[in-house]
Structure 1
Amino acid sequence: MLLAGITTLLLLPVGTALAWWIAKSQGRWRDIVTAVVSLPLVLPPTVLGFYLLVALGPFGPGGQLASLWGARTLAFSFEGLVIGSMVYSLPFMVLPLRMAFKAIGREPLEAGATLGASNNRIFWRIAVPLALPGFMSGAIMTFAHTLGEFGVVLMIGGNIPGETKVLSIAIYDFIERGQWVEAHIVSAGMVLFAYVVVTTAMQIQRIGARQ
């Protein structure tokens, strides 16, 4: 829960900036950036986890960053897990926001500019309120995806109790130890949570469409 919450909060500003730029940009870089952001949707978790492990390891940028406070690596740490979670959950924040920003259309923004509003004021007073369903949907989907991820988390975080062990890995441990009752309880809870997330996101999208 902590990992999913921190990842969602950190991705809100990052995803908002990326989604706004993608929605409004007309340059050739738009498609390239959109494709890079969408990669975690199609890459096998082991492939993404491997490259994140290399990047966060002692010989990658993560190791150089960790050396600033005397650590050797960001891999197999909670901080590294947050960075990895932000990468593989990024499309679940950016894509709903991009759709919400594009759905606004040009007219409301042009009307604000005609009335003399600055770009910042147009964004915060017009775009953000109109895209609120996209923010809610993106936050919910990001939280749920981070909570349920297994492959990438296991590769870059390992299975360290109290630091990098998450619910999906706990289910795997229960099954390995033959604790089927505990595995059923946690799995059923995640199924129920996933159902609530999906139905909530659908309701938010309907409200946004009506607005």
Structure 2
Amino acid sequence: MNEHSTIDWQPLWLSLKLASVTMLILLLVGIPLAYWLAYSRRRWKVAIEAVIGLPMVLPPSVLGFYLLLAFSPAGAFGAFLSRYLDVRLVFTFPGLVAASLIYSLPFMVNPLLAGFRELPADLKEASRTLGKSDITTLFSILLPNIRASLITGSVLSFAHTIGEFGVVMMIGGSIPGQTKVASVAIYDEVLSTNYPLANRYAIILLGFSFCILLLVNIINHYYNKHKALP
């Protein structure tokens, strides 16, 4: 087989690694954030929700551009990280993770937030009446009751990170083995007019994305069916 038609699995592996790391960190960040948004009485929390949701409406290239300015050593934040923490985010895998956390945050937080808001209002208060702390209530009562939301948020944030292009291209470029993820590999092959190889990458991502969405639908159908049982 022509070497130019052979799939390099490294970009696909790097995409899976990026999506997995992003999903795990978003779980740690998204659960307390969604919990606070669901139960806080602060009026300005609607502004926080709007900021979290920005990646859903902003063009990825716009978000990537501003993250590039923020992460660049020429900027104040990037210079601080480089000078005092010896951390460089531009054109590195940690930079891709940082950008992906922001880019995929609403896909984790929004399902969790919807799950918390669908719970009976007196469930949390009943737990407090029994003397349970907020942390115990969250992990032993609330989260088990929003399992479908947890799974949906995890799967969607994973899948959304797998398919991102504009943000990772801005922040990471196309460095083999470091920042060249599958979506960037497709772009590179299209630029080289190597459409057969670009098609192979695209088919793999298409099939993977379909399986992810099918899994979410199956889980939600199963959960809603059993939830409706007396």
TM-score range, shorter chain: over 0.9
1:60 corresponds, among 76, 89, 92, to: 76
Q: Report the equivalent of 2:113.
A: 98
Q: Report the equivalent of 1:197.
A: 212
Deviation (angstroms), 1:105: 2.0
Contact map agreement 1:54 1:60 (CA 8 A) in 2: no
User: Does residue 141 of structure 1 match 2:126?
Assistant: no
Secondary structure, counterpart of 2:132 in structure 1: coil
User: Does residue 48 of structure 1 match 2:24?
Assistant: no
Root mean square deviation, CA, Å: 1.4
Distance 2:169 2:185 in 1: 11
Percent of residue pairs bearing the same amino acid type: 42
Contact map agreement 1:97 1:131 (CA 8 A) in 2: yes
Contact map agreement 1:63 1:74 (CA 8 A) in 2: no
Letter of the aligned partner of 2:104 in structure 1?
Answer: S
Q: Report the equivalent of 2:44.
A: 29
Structure with the larger RCO, 1 or 2 (CA within 8 Å, 6+ apart): 2
Structure 1 segments unaligned to the other structure (5+ residues)? none
**Normalised TM-score (structure 1):** 0.94
Structure 2 segments unaligned to the other structure (5+ residues)? 1-15
Deviation string for 1:152-199 (max 9, x for gaps)? 110111111110110000011111222222111111111111111112
Distance 2:189 2:217 in 1: 32
**Normalised TM-score (structure 2):** 0.87
Q: Report the equivalent of 1:89.
A: 104
